[in-house]
Amino acid sequence: MKFSFFNEISPPLIGVDISSVSIKLVELSDDGRGGYKLEGYATQPLPKGAMVDGNVSDLEKVIDVMRLAWKLLGTREKRIALALPTAAVISKKVQMAAGMREEDMEAQVEAEANQYIPFSLDEVNIDFQILGPAAKNPDEVEVLIVASRKEKIEDRVAVAEGAGLKALVMDVESYATEAAYSLVANQLPNAGREQTVMIADIGAAMMHVNVLHDNKSIYTREQSFGGGQLTQEIQSRFGLSLEEAEIAKRRGGLPDSYELEVLQPFMLSIATEIARALQFFTSSTQYNRVDHIVLAGGCAAIPALDVAVQSHTQINTVIANPFNGMAINAKLKQQQAISDAPAMLIACGLAMRGGLAI
């Protein structure tokens, strides 16, 4: 039953973000001054269909890409931190009597979990963390219970082991985003304190929205939208293969009509999706506004996307740079690292937070 989502592991660990289209790795070290040094990062595309809806569909292909990405990273470190998609995890906050013994609390967690987990408890891993005193009752504490199906965890561990790596940590993507946000917050006025900040992490197939108030997560949502739509439009418009379209999207060399007819409408689509996410957030929570938008994920590398989103939403918008203020290994190209940084947000959060020992 017990699976620790919350125990801290001391770094270094390599943060590994397995998405639907790629595997991203980030390695950080202690800079000796209480901060981090970026030792290296790598990203490697996954073959189509290797990951489907956040699940490992073709184990051997994912292992091959993991092995290649690790080789590209050029490290000896084999201990890694992985994350489950937020949608693969059930979490619930409950109130419990303060001062309970741990074994009594475990029994109560199991009883609570039984009520809201739609699977047999034999099929899931469960963990809990005391968040602090309950707001309205000093005799109670607020407890976060987290559960996920064992097979989801085991599939990712099998990828690591197949590639010769040791998975020490299993996190949740939204928690890793929150951890990495602590590096990004200093890009905002007053480091984001006492403000409401929406992180929109736009990947290939999904836009992950995480809203924080006073630097604590208060809302998460996923919207089916991503950079894959731009790739498909390039493919059909210019008669390219999927692979050619992906390369052209990143490196350029497309006809002059591309920017006006393809890229700008896609940027407007992103701005519209973020406006929808804002509407969902304000209509379903007690909060009636967002002070800042932080763009992350592969799409955040599109030049001037922050300007387009800010213009459409009228909300201050910045591009996430989790490497901001870090010492960077001299072997890395600094400008390239800054350009790639928004896509590395989850991997960076995983590399930072030992957290969640398996």
CA distance 225 to 160: 28
More confident residue, 43 or 144: 43
Q: Has residue 2 got a pLDDT over 60? A: no
Strand order from edge to edge, sheet including 196-202: 216-223, 207-213, 196-202, 292-296, 316-319
Query: What pLDDT, on the 0 to 100 scale, is given for residue 226?
Result: 93
Q: How confident is the model at residue 304 (pLDDT cuts 50, 70, 90)?
A: very high
- Give the structural domain span for 121: 90-150
Higher pLDDT, 86 or 157: 157
Residue closest to 212 by CA, chosen among 188, 180, 163, 178? 178
User: Would you state the pLDDT for residue 184?
Assistant: 94
Across residues 94-106, what is the average pLDDT? 87
Using N-to-C axis directions, what is the helix angle for 305-313 and 264-284, rounded to 10°? 50
Least confident piece of the model among 69-78, 84-93, 179-188, 229-238:
84-93
How many domains does the chain contain in total? 1
Task: Decide which of 164 and 244 is more confident.
Answer: 164
More confident residue, 328 or 115: 328
Asked, for residue 120, whether it belongs to a domain, the answer is yes
Across 318-339, average pLDDT: 93
Whether the per-residue pLDDT at 100 is higher than 50: the answer is yes
Report pLDDT for 8: 53
* pLDDT band of 5, cuts 50, 70, 90: low
Q: Is the pLDDT of residue 10 over 60?
A: no
Look at the block and give the residue holding tokens 């001299």.
330
| Average pLDDT score over residue span 180-188 | 92
Residue 137 has pLDDT above 90, yes or no: no
Mean pLDDT computed over every residue of the chain: 90
pLDDT of amino acid 355: 39
Considering the domain boundaries, does residue 96 fall inside one?
A: yes
Greater model confidence, 2 or 219: 219
Which domain CATH number covers 127?
3.30.1490.300
Q: pLDDT: is 1 or 265 the higher one?
A: 265
CA angle, 250 as apex, 249 and 255 as ends, to 5°?
45
Domain-embedded: residue 100: yes
pLDDT tens-digit readout, 221-274: 988 999 999 999 999 999 998 888 888 888 888 999 999 999 999 999 999 999
Parallel, antiparallel or unpaired: strands 316-319 and 292-296 = parallel
Per-residue model confidence (pLDDT) at position 282: 97
Report which DSSP code applies to 198. Answer: E
Q: Is residue 7 over pLDDT 70?
A: no
User: Is residue 77 situated within a structural domain?
Assistant: no
Q: Determine, yes or no, domain membership for 8.
A: no
Indicate whether 128 belongs to any domain: yes
pLDDT value at residue 79: 94
Residue 217 has pLDDT above 60, yes or no: yes
C-alpha–C-alpha distance, residues 262 and 239, integer Å: 14
Q: 67, 59, 276, 281: which is closest to 154 by C-alpha? A: 59
pLDDT computed for residue 122 by the predictor: 85
**Residue type at position 103:** E
Whether pTM > 0.95 for this model: the answer is: no
For the ranges 10-19, 62-71, 171-180, the one whose mean pLDDT is highest: 62-71
| The predicted structure's pLDDT at residue 65 | 97
Rounded to an integer, the average pLDDT of 136-144 is 87
Catalogue the E-assigned strands of the chain. 14-18, 22-30, 36-45, 51-52, 55-56, 79-84, 89-97, 124-133, 140-149, 166-172, 196-202, 207-213, 216-223, 292-296, 316-319, 327-328
- The answer to whether residue 139 is domain-embedded is yes
Mapped onto helix, strand or coil, the DSSP state of residue 151 is helix
> What confidence score (pLDDT) does residue 131 get?
83
Nearest alpha carbon to residue 15 among 200, 180, 146, 217: 180
* pLDDT at residue 257, rounded to an integer: 92
Residue 130 lies in a domain: yes
